[in-house]
Amino acid sequence: MGSRFRWVQVLLYGFVSLWSLFVLLPTAWMVIGAFKTKREFFLDPLGMPASFDFDAFERAWGTGVGGFLLNSMFVTALSVLVIVVVSAMAAYVLARTDNRWMRLVYLVIVAGFAVPVQAVIIPLFQMVSGAGMLNSLFAIVLPYAAYGIPFTIILFYAFFLDFPRELEEAALLDGCRPVKTFFHIVLPLMGPAVASAAIFQAVFIWNEFLLALLMLTKPAVKTLTVGILQLGGEFTSDWAAIMAGLSIAVLPILTVFILAQKYFVRSLAGLGK
Amino acid sequence: MSDTSLAKPVTGPDASTWILLTPALGLVILFIVIPALLAIAGSFFTIGIGSTNWQFAGLANYTRALNDPIFWLALRNNLIMVVGSIVLQVGFGTVLAAILDRGLPRGSTLFRTIIFAPMVMSTIAVALIWLVIMDPNVGALNTLVKALGMQPPTQGWLGDPDIALWVILVIAMWQYTGFMMVLILAGLQGIPRELYEAAALDGARGLKAFRHITLPGIRNVLIVAVLITTIGGFKVFDLIFATTRGGPANATQVLGTYIYQQAFNLGNMGYANAISVVLLLIAVLLGWLQLQVSRRS
């Protein structure tokens, strides 16, 4: 029994280790590739670079990756802020009022959760271009916010159903109006729920591609996903620069994930509940 | 002024209700509901690139889709993505989650972090990394395959219509299996340990316990996982756009890329809207199912 148990354990460790290697190797190869010379790439694709210098990062940065990075940070931060604030406001009302209207509103929002942006991209593109919203980092925040709101409302709605009402009632008795109660009493206590929703939406928006591809066509406003795709065309055989650009795009969000994974995992677990 | 609002029973939505509700509802209506309605309306019209000139076309766009072999090919490829992703991502995700839940005395958190990490990378970046890995000249994959004494495909991994879609399935598996694992792991951790202890006393361990305790315990989570994967398989766009653009010879064409091609490369907005409506109906139906299952648990 004892030795059989040990063998099973070796097998299980072997399997998860193999999968981890399968995940790690391409990522490591990307980062290492950013330090290799063109010659090293051709002579030995699996080899290590002779020296570690940051020339390729400079070349990638020089073609605008720095700007793409800033654009992505700006769009992501602003969108997440809008999503969290307006979703919290709406979810609060939906969880605290029970009538026909609110049920209809909730239904509309839940239906919005199911609509994929690919399926409505033609009218959406025609609307935003007709409204003169192309090539504006502010304008793309609006559709990003819209597509982040339904899931965030569903998350917050569940949070408010469990929120102690006594706190709000006390505030109301002290003469706080509902809007003030919300901003002064409820919102400050939403910490963990906000963190979960924010990190989930941040990853989604940081990585969004289709809307960015269609709405942000000028180099000065491109975000990372669109920018790095164009990088492949600019450095047709400068593999190190491509790998450096990809590393710049991937490593910040990986860092955020590792630091905040507790909240991230929590919001994902919410999907299954 | 005396405040009497407290004494009044709240019967309907008052002003402050709408102040809090309007921004979210407005954005959702403006950028989701209206475009969805316009896509449905637009599918009955012929719309040129200029897109100001709508000509009523009745069901012509839909009959065109029914007679378009590429539409059917794209739908078939979506179905292959769906079934393949369920088998690979939910399948391996379940196995990995089960191992991390109870199989390892230590190290679970580290393995979970590593295996989940690709999920947070942009699909475009993932696609580009794999494009370089599969490059015939500088890629690691061909070198590795040759080192193992095998022959890499002569037309390249994504250039061969017979294997391109399967290669894409593997890249999708690389990125999303960790997501499924984490989702299912959350379900597993909700199963009370006492059930396993009681079963062990009755002699049920290992696979037997897995079949009689674990599987029933995560039934709902598994259904949600399958639905999310199914929706993902129908929505797939970024990965294919960044690797093959639907080629070679439409071998990896899916609804998402075909909509894009018809609308933005060929200027057939009306026809693209009809294909969009098909995708929209599938997604809304599956999304509704997902919420029904989620709510039940």
Pairwise pLDDT comparison (B58 vs A142), residue with the higher score: A142
Is A114 touching B (CB cutoff 8 A)? yes
> A241-257: string of b/e by CB count within 10 Å (b at 16+)?
bbbbbbbbbbeebeebb
* Residue A131 burial (CB count, 10 A): 10
pLDDT, tens only, B14-26: 777 888 899 999 9
The pLDDT of residue A82: 97
CA A212 to chain centre: 14
Verify that A26 and A161 share a domain, yes or no: no
Quick one: what percent of chain B has pLDDT higher than 70?
94
Compare all CA atoms of chain B with the CA of A20 and give the residue at the minimum distance. B115
A44 domain residue, yes or no: no
A46 domain residue, yes or no: no
| Per-residue pLDDT band at B3 (split at 50, 70, 90) | very low
Retrieve residue B138's tokens.
Answer: 């500088």
CB pairs under 8 A between A and B: 289
A238 domain residue, yes or no: yes
Distance from C-alpha of A39 to C-alpha of A57, rounded to nearest angstrom = 17
Name which of A104-108, B177-181, B197-201 the model is least confident about.
Answer: B197-201
Verify that A14 and A86 share a domain, yes or no: no
Concatenate the DSSP letters of all residues of B3-32 into one string: --TTTSPP-S--HHHHHHHHHHHHHHIIII
Nearest to B177 by CA among B128, B231, B118: B118
> Which stretches of chain A drop beneath a pLDDT of 70?
1-4, 235, 269-273
- Closest-CA distance, B62 to chain A, in angstroms, reads 15
CB A153 within 8 A of CB A87: yes
Verify that A87 and A217 share a domain, yes or no: yes
Beta-ladder partners of B46 = B55
Distance from C-alpha of A83 to C-alpha of B98, rounded to nearest angstrom = 35
Three-state SS sequence of chain A: CHHHHHHHHHHHHHHHHHHHHHHHHHHHHHHHHCCCCHHHHHHCCCCCCCCCCCHHHHHHHHHHHHHHHHHHHHHHHHHHHHHHHHHHHHHHHHHHCCCHHHHHHHHHHHHHHHCCHHHHHHHHHHHHHHCCCCCCHHHHHHHHHHHHHHHHHHHHHHHHHCCCHHHHHHHHHCCCCHHHHHHHHHHHHHHHHHHHHHHHHHHHHHCCCHHHHHHCCCHHHCCHHHHHHHHHHHCCCCHHHHHHHHHHHHHHHHHHHHHCHHHHHHHHHHHHC
The reply to whether residue B124 touches residue A209, judged by beta carbons under 8 angstroms, is: yes
A 158-187 → B contacts, CB under 8 A: 172-173, 175, 177-179, 182
Per the structure, how many domains does chain A have?
Answer: 2
Compute and round to an integer the Cα radius of gyration of chain A: 24
| Per-residue pLDDT band at B215 (split at 50, 70, 90) | confident
Retrieve residue B289's tokens.
Answer: 């199912």
Of the candidates B6, B92, B186, which has its C-beta nearest A269's C-beta?
B186
* Residue A175 burial (CB count, 10 A): 9
Which of B2, B11, B28, B231 best tests the A interface by mutation, with the highest count of A CBs <10 A? B28
Helix residue ranges per DSSP H, chain B: 15-28, 34-42, 60-66, 69-85, 91-98, 108-116, 123-133, 140-147, 164-188, 193-201, 206-209, 215-217, 219-235, 238-243, 255-260, 269-296
A99 domain residue, yes or no: yes
Residue A166's CATH number: 1.10.3720.10
pLDDT, tens only, B81-119: 999 999 999 999 999 998 998 778 888 889 999 999 999
Distance from C-alpha of B52 to C-alpha of A92, rounded to nearest angstrom = 41
pLDDT, tens only, A7-19: 888 899 999 999 9
Verify that A124 and A179 share a domain, yes or no: yes
Of the candidates B12, B33, B95, which has its C-beta nearest A99's C-beta?
B12
The pLDDT of residue A272: 52
The pLDDT of residue B194: 87
The pLDDT of residue B2: 42
pLDDT, tens only, B117-141: 999 999 999 999 999 899 888 888 8
A 51-70 → B contacts, CB under 8 A: none
Retrieve residue A216's tokens.
Answer: 């942000």
Q: Nearest-5° angle of CA A121, CA A123, CA A124?
A: 60
Verify that A9 and A142 share a domain, yes or no: no
Nearest to B276 by CA among B241, B244, B235: B235
Verify that A91 and A185 share a domain, yes or no: yes
Verify that A161 and A264 share a domain, yes or no: yes
CA B212 to chain centre: 29
Which of B14, B16, B18, B32 best tests the A interface by mutation, with the highest count of A CBs <10 A? B32
Concatenate the DSSP letters of all residues of B248-288 into one string: STTTT--HHHHHHIIIIIS--HHHHHHHHHHHHHHHHHHHH
Q: Nearest-5° angle of CA B73, CA B125, CA B175?
A: 65
Going by the DSSP 8-state scheme, the letter that residue B154 receives in this structure is T
Verify that A115 and A156 share a domain, yes or no: yes
Verify that A153 and A210 share a domain, yes or no: yes
Is A138 touching B (CB cutoff 8 A)? no
Return the C-alpha torsion angle A232, A238, A242, A245, nearest 10.
-120
Verify that A89 and A15 share a domain, yes or no: no
The reply to whether residue A26 touches residue B174, judged by beta carbons under 8 angstroms, is: yes
| Per-residue pLDDT band at B297 (split at 50, 70, 90) | low
Ordered domains of chain B (ranges, CATH): 60-296 (1.10.3720.10)
Distance from C-alpha of B59 to C-alpha of B69, rounded to nearest angstrom = 18
A43 domain residue, yes or no: no
**Crossing angle of helices B219-235 and B164-188, rounded to 10°:** 150
Of the candidates A15, A42, A113, which has its C-beta nearest B137's C-beta?
A42
Ramachandran angles phi, psi of B47, nearest 5°:
-125, 125
Residue numbers of the domain that contains A90 = 63-272
Give B150's contacts (C-beta < 8 A, 6+ positions apart). none
The reply to whether residue B220 touches residue A272, judged by beta carbons under 8 angstroms, is: yes
The pLDDT of residue B74: 97
Contacts of A178 in chain B (CB under 8 A): 16-17, 20
| Per-residue pLDDT band at B9 (split at 50, 70, 90) | very low
* Residue A33 burial (CB count, 10 A): 26
The pLDDT of residue B13: 56
Verify that A22 and A126 share a domain, yes or no: no
Verify that A125 and A195 share a domain, yes or no: yes
What's the one-letter identity of residue A4?
R
